[in-house]
Chains A and B, each alone.
Chain A
C-alpha cells in the first residue's frame, strides 16, 4: 500500500510540477489509485494528486463530454495485475469512506452520500458524462484479487449503465455483482470499466485506449491554441499545422530580433530610469513624434555639432548600404525596415549623443515603451 501510494504520490508530484492536466490524465490510467486518491482529499498521500485532480475536473469534463471519447482512462486489468505485485491497495477505511462519499467526476456533486446508496443517487444526479472510464474489470481474476470499493464500483456501474447505451459484457456485470456482494463498504482497489460494444476488452487495448484518449484530449487543446486548426480533421494534419505554427513563431522571433538589432543602436533601455520615473512625469513625455527630431537637433547645436553631422552622413550612407548588404545576406523584409529606419534613426542618434538629451531620450522612450508593452 505504501509503495503504491508512494508511487502514485511520486507520480502525482512529478506531474504536478508539469501541469494539472498531465497529472489528471496520467493518473486516470491508474484508475483504482486514481479513484481512491481523488476521492480522499484529506489523505496525506494524495493531497497533491487530489488537488491536481480537482483542477482538471473541468478538463475531465471536457474530455468526457466528447462523444467520441471511448472508455478512456480504463485501468487495464493485466497492467493492473502487473501493478498488483508491486502495489498494495490502501485499506484505509477513511479513504474508502471518503471515496464513497465524494466523487471528483461528479464535478462537485454532493458528497454526502456513502455506501451503496451514494453511488446510485450520485450516479443519477451527477453529470453522467463524467463517468466514462474509471473502471476496468479484471478480466482474468475475480474475487481472488482485492476488490474495488463496493460503492465505487456500483457508482461507476450505475453511471455507466445510465450513460452508456451499448451492450455490456455479461461477464462484467456478473463480476461486478460478485464484487459488490463480497465487499461491504470497503473500498476496492479495482476500478471497473465498461467496454463499449465492439471494443476489445483486452487489457492492452484498454491501456492503448486510455493513452489515445489522453493524447486526443491534448490535441484538442492544441487545436484551440493554434489558429485555424479547428476546422482541420485528422491528427496528422493538425500536427502539421501545429508544427508550422511553432516554426513560424520561431521565425518571427528571429525576424524581430533582427529588426531590433537594426533599430537598437539608437536606443538605450535604461531600466533604472524607467522605474524611478514617477507617473507625474509621464504627461511630459508625450512628445509628438514630430517634436523629437526637432528638439534634439536644437540641443545638438550647443554640443558636438560636427560629430553629429558626421553621424548624420554616416547614417545616411550606411542605411542604404545596410539595406543592400542586408538584403543579400539576410532576409529581404529587413531591407525595407532598415531603409525605413534611416531617417528616424538619425534623429534619435543625435538625441542619444547629447549628454542632456541622452538621459531624456532614454527615459522618455523607455517609459512609454514599457507603458505600451504592459
Chain B
C-alpha cells in the first residue's frame, strides 16, 4: 500500500485533483443514498447511471467554462436538470450526459470514405462524440477533441484507480 507520507498537493492546482475532489464527493452522496440491502441489479444500474453522470459532471465542472465542450456539457446538465425538475419525472436514469452510445453513431454513418469526402464524415462523427461539437468549425473541433481526450484520460485513470483501490484493499 502507500507507505509514503501523505503528499499534500494544492487541491486547486490541477485538473486531476479538482476532478478527484468533486467525484469522490459525488460518490459519497450516491452511496449514502442507496441502502446497501437493496442492491438489486436495478439499483446497481441506477447507481451506475448516477455514477457515470457524476463522473462526467465532475470533469465538466473541473474544467469550468474554459472549453467549448465543457460549456456544452454543463449547459446540457442544467437544461436537463431544469426540465427534469419541471416534469417531476421519476426516471432519474435519463441523465445520460454523454452522447448516444458510440455504437449508434457508427451505424448511422454509412457514407463512403473518400480521401476528401471521408473527412467530412469523420468530422461529423467527431462532432457527435465531442459534446458541443455540432457548432464548432473543424479547427476548433480538433482543438476541443484534443482537450476532451486529455480530460477523458484523466477521468478514466482516476476511476480505475478508485476501483483498483477498493479491489485490493478488500
On A, residues with C-beta under 8 Å from B are 17-19, 21-22, 25-26, 211, 214-215, 218-219, 221-222, 225-226, 234-236, 239-240, 242-243, 245-247, 249-254, 256-271, 274, 279, 282, 286, 288-289, 292-293, 311, 314, 318, 322, 325-326, 329-330, 340-341, 343-345, 347-349, 352, 365-374
Q: How far is the CA of A345 from the CA of B167 in the complex (A)?
A: 9
Contact A215 B165, beta carbon cutoff 8 Å: no
Which of B52, B102, B155, B166 contacts A365 (CB under 8 A)? B166
Alpha-carbon distance between A365 and B48 when the two chains are bound, in angstroms: 21
Contact B140 A22 (CB under 8 A): yes
A271 touches B48 (CB 8 A): no
| Beyond known contacts A221-B146, A260-B162, A345-B170: 8 more, CB 8 A cutoff | A234-B115, A239-B119, A257-B48, A265-B34, A366-B24, A369-B162, A369-B166, A373-B165
Q: Are B41 and A247 in contact (CB under 8 A)?
A: no
Chain A interface SS verdict (over half): helix
Query: What's the least CB distance linking B36 to chain A, in Å?
Result: 5
C-alpha gap A253/B96 in the complex (Å): 12
Known: A236-B113, A374-B17. A262 touches B44 (CB 8 A): yes
Question: Which one of B55, B118, B169 contacts A289 once the chains associate, using CB atoms below 8 Å?
Answer: B169
Known contacts A286-B1, A341-B167; is-contact A265 B31 (Cβ 8 Å): yes
Give complex CA distance A318, B145 in Å. Answer: 41
- The yes or no answer to B161 lying at the interface (CB within 8 A) is yes
Is B72 an interface residue, CB under 8 A from the partner?
no
B12 at the interface (CB under 8 A from A): no
Decide: B143 and A219 in contact? CB cutoff 8 A: no
A225-B146 Cα distance, complex, nearest whole Å? 7
Bound form: Cα–Cα A93–B94 in Å: 60
B161 touches A268 (CB 8 A): no
Check if B119 sits within 8 Å of A261, measured CB to CB. Answer: no
Q: Does B9 contact A (CB under 8 A)?
A: yes
Q: Looking at chain B, what size class is its interface with the partner chain?
A: 35 or more
B36: nearest chain-A partner, CB-CB: A265
CB within 8 Å for A22 and B143 given contacts A268-B28, A271-B24, A341-B167? yes
Using Cβ atoms and an 8 Å threshold, which residues of chain A touch B39?
A: 265, 318, 322
- Report B's interface with A, CB cutoff 8 A: 1-9, 16-17, 20-21, 24-25, 27-28, 30-32, 34, 36-37, 39, 41, 44-45, 47-52, 55-56, 66-68, 98-99, 102, 105, 113, 115, 118-119, 122-123, 125-126, 129-130, 138-140, 142-143, 145-150, 152-153, 155-156, 158-163, 165-170
C-alpha spacing A21/B139, complex, angstroms: 10
Is there an interface contact between B7 and A374, defined as CB atoms closer than 8 Å?
A: yes
CA–CA, A279 to B150, complex, Å?
A: 31
Chain A residue nearest in CB terms to B44: A261
List the B side residues contacting A249 at CB < 8 Å: 149, 152-153, 155-156
Known interface pairs A214-B139, A243-B122. Does A256 touch B28 (Cβ–Cβ under 8 Å)? no
- Which of chain A's residues has its CB closest to B3's CB? A286
Instruction: Assess the A18–B163 pair: CB atoms within 8 A.
Output: no
A259 CB to closest chain B CB (Å) equals 5
Chain A nearest CB: distance from B60 CB in Å?
12
Give the residues in chain B near A240, CB-CB below 8 Å: 122
Known: A250-B98, A263-B166. A270 touches B159 (CB 8 A): no
Complex CA gap A293/B170 in Å reads: 7
Which chain A positions have C-beta within 8 A of B7?
Answer: 371, 374
Cα–Cα distance between A191 and B9 once the two chains are bound (Å): 48
* B170 pairs with A348, CB closer than 8 A: yes
CB closest chain-B residue, reference A366? B24
Known contacts: A211-B139, A246-B129, A372-B2. The answer to whether A269 contacts B27 by CB under 8 A is: yes
Residue on B nearest A344 in the bound complex, by CB: B170
Q: Which residues of B contact A18 (CB under 8 A)?
A: 67-68, 140, 143
A369 to B168 alpha-carbon distance, docked (Å): 11
Smallest Cβ-Cβ distance to A353: which chain B residue: B36
Chain B residues closer than 8 Å to A234, beta-carbon distance: 115
Is A371 within 8 A of B142, CB to CB? no
Q: Is the CB of A271 within 8 A of B1?
A: no
Given A219-B142, A257-B52: A282 in contact with B165 (beta carbons within 8 A): no
Q: Chain B residues near A226 (CB, 8 Å)?
A: 149
Verify B125–A243 contact, CB threshold 8 A. yes
A-B pairs, top 5 by smallest CB distance, nearest first, are: A344-B170, A218-B142, A261-B48, A247-B102, A269-B28
Most chain-B CB neighbours within 10 Å: which of A261, A282, A289, A329? Answer: A261
Q: Is the CB of A236 within 8 A of B122?
A: yes
Chain B nearest Cβ from A365, distance in angstroms: 6
CA distance A222 to B142 in the complex (A): 7
Return chain B residues, CB-CB under 8 Å to A372.
2, 161, 165
Residues of B within 8 A of A352 (CB): 36
Docked Cα-Cα span, A251 to B48, in Å, equals: 13
Task: Pick from B37, B41, B146, B167: contact of A329, CB below 8 A.
Answer: B41
Quick check: B170 and A21 within 8 Å, CB to CB? Answer: no
The smallest C-beta distance from B58 to any residue of chain A, in angstroms, reads 11
Contacts of A289 in B (CB 8 A): 1, 168-170
